[in-house]
Amino acid sequence: MDALILLGSFFLLILIGMPVAYALGAAALIGAWWIDIPFQAVMIQVAGGVNKFSLLAIPFFVLAGAIMAEGGMSRRLVAFAGVLVGFVRGGLSLVNLMASTFFGAISGSSVADTASVGSVLIPEMERRGYPREFSTAVTVSGSVQALLTPPSHNAVLYSLAAGGTVSIGALFMAGIVPGLLMNACLMVLCLIFAKKRNYPKGEVIPLKQALKICREAMWGMMTMFIILGGILSGVFTATESAAIAVLWAFFVTMCIYRDYKWSELPKLMHRTVRTISIVMILIGFAASFGYIMTLMQIPAKITTLFLTISDNRYVILMCINAMLLVLGTVMDMAPLILILTPILMPVIMGIGVDPVQFGMIMLVNLGIGLITPPVGAVLFVGAAIGKVSIESTVKALLPFYGVLFLVLLAVTYIPAISLWLPRLVL
C-alpha cells in the first residue's frame, strides 16, 4: 500500500500536467504524510540532495559545452571530421557521426549535439543530395553517443543517484568504448545505405587546407584531453576538471576563435543558469522522493519481485532493459536516472552486475528513449532543425533503432565493453 500511495500519487500528478520535478516533491510530501514522517525531514533531504560538491561538475560542464557550441566549435569539428572521413561514398553521413563523437566529448549533451551538428550538416546533406529524413535520422541517432562519452552529465547524475559509491572517473572511462562501438556500428549502417542508394562521394581536401582545419579544430579538441588527462593523472577531480574546462573553453572561444561577441555572454550565462536551476530542483526533489522510498522499503520489495521472476542474471537484465526502454519513451532521462537507480541498484548488486556496467546499460537504454516518441526530446529537436515531421523521422530511424538495440545487447551481456578500460586505467 505504501508503494501504491507514493508511486501512484507521482504518476497521477504527472498525468494532470504537473512538471516532473514538482511531482516528485509533492509525491514525497504525500508519502511522508502517509507514513507519518514530519515534513521538515523531507525538506532537509531536499537541501541535502543539492548540497554536494560533486554536483558542481554539472553546471561547469554545461557552461563549457554552451560556450564551445555557440563559439564556432561545431563548425570547426564538422570541417575536421570532413578531413577524416568526408572523401568516401556517403562521406557526409560519416562526417555527421564523427562530428557528433567529437562534439559529444566536449558538450556531454545529446540535445546540444543534435542542435549544433544538425544545424550545420542537415541543410548541407540535403544540398548534396541526401534525403532530409535520412539526414535527420543520422544526426539524431549519432547524438546518443554524447550520453556515454565523457563529460556526460547523466553519468554524473547516475553517480549521485547511486549514493556516490560509483566513481565519476570510472563512469567516464566506461563510456568511451561503448560510445565508439555505437559510432562504428552506425557508420557501417550509413556505408551500406550509401552503396545501396548511391549517395554522393565527397572530395579529398587539399593537404594545406586540411592542415589548417586540423589546427583550428585541435584548440577545441584539447578540452576533452584536459578533462580526461587531468582526471587520469590525478591532477584534479572530475568536478575540478569541469571548472578547468570552462576556463579553457572561454579562452579558446574569446581569444583564439573570436567568433563570439562579448555582448552575447550575459545571454549565454542566463540560458545556462536557467537550465541548471531546473536540474538542481529536480535533483533536490528526487533526493526527498528517494528518502521516502527507502523508508517504505520499496527498493527491497522491487529486488524481491525481480528475483521471484528468475534467478538468472541474463533474464533479469532482459527484464530491466525492457522496463527501461518503455519508461524511457514516456519520461525524460534525468528524473528516470534519479528515481530508478536507487531502486535497481540492489537488484543488480544481488545478481553480480558491476554498478559501472549497469550505468552504461541504463544510459544506452534511456538514450534510445530520447529519440523515441512520444516524449523523445532529442527526436523533437532533430525534427525541428531538419524541418521534417516526427512520423517521417521515426520511419527513417527504424534501421538505426536496430543498430542501437544491438549495441545495447552487447553492452548488457559483454561486461568487458564497459569495464575493460576503467580496469586498465584506474
Amino acid at residue number 32: A
Identity of the highest mean pLDDT range in 36-45, 94-103, 206-215, 395-404: 395-404
**Measured between alpha carbons, how far is 232 from 150 in angstroms, rounded to an integer?**
12
- Is pLDDT at 399 greater than 90 in this prediction? yes
pLDDT for 187: 93
- The burial of 165, by beta-carbon neighbours within 10 Å (0-12 exposed, 13-18 middle, 19 or more buried), is given as exposed
Report the Cα 307 to chain-centroid distance in Å: 29
Q: Is residue 276 very low, low, confident or very high in pLDDT (cuts 50, 70, 90)?
A: confident
Helix axes 355-370, 390-413, angle to 10 degrees: 170
SS3 201: strand
Residues 8-41 have pLDDT tens digits of 888 888 888 888 788 888 888 988 888 888 888 8
* Cα atoms found within 13 Å of the Cα of residue 123, Cβ hemisphere only: 6
- Is pLDDT at 260 greater than 80 in this prediction? no
pLDDT for 146: 86
Q: Can you tell me the mean pLDDT for 58-81?
A: 78
Rg (CA), the chain: 22
Provide the domain count of the chain: 1
Q: Is 376 left (phi over 0), alpha (psi -120 to 50) or beta?
A: beta
pLDDT for 232: 73
pLDDT for 178: 94
Strand partners, 89: 201
* Cα atoms found within 13 Å of the Cα of residue 126, Cβ hemisphere only: 14
pLDDT for 356: 95
Check if the beta carbon of residue 3 is closer than 8 Å to that of residue 301.
yes
> Dihedrals φ, ψ of 71, to 5°?
-100, 20
pLDDT for 417: 95
- Is pLDDT at 274 greater than 90 in this prediction? no
Q: Over pLDDT 70: what percentage of the chain?
A: 100
| Termini Cα distance of the chain | 44
pLDDT for 14: 81
CB atoms within 10 A of CB 314: 11
* Cα atoms found within 13 Å of the Cα of residue 254, Cβ hemisphere only: 13
Range from 161-165, 289-293, 302-306, 336-340 carrying the lowest mean pLDDT: 302-306
Residues 117-129 have pLDDT tens digits of 888 788 888 888 8
- Is pLDDT at 240 greater than 90 in this prediction? no
Structural domain boundaries, residue 50: 2-425
Q: Of 416, 355, 411, 341, whose CA–CA distance to 171 is shortest?
A: 355
Q: Is residue 357 very low, low, confident or very high in pLDDT (cuts 50, 70, 90)?
A: very high
Q: Is the dihedral of CA 385, 388, 393, 396 positive or negative?
A: negative
Where do we find the cell 520499496? 298
pLDDT for 405: 95
Q: Is residue 141 very low, low, confident or very high in pLDDT (cuts 50, 70, 90)?
A: very high
Residues 300-345 have pLDDT tens digits of 777 777 778 777 889 999 989 998 988 888 777 888 898 889 889 8
Q: Is 332 left (phi over 0), alpha (psi -120 to 50) or beta?
A: beta
**Measured between alpha carbons, how far is 150 from 363 in angstroms, rounded to an integer?**
12
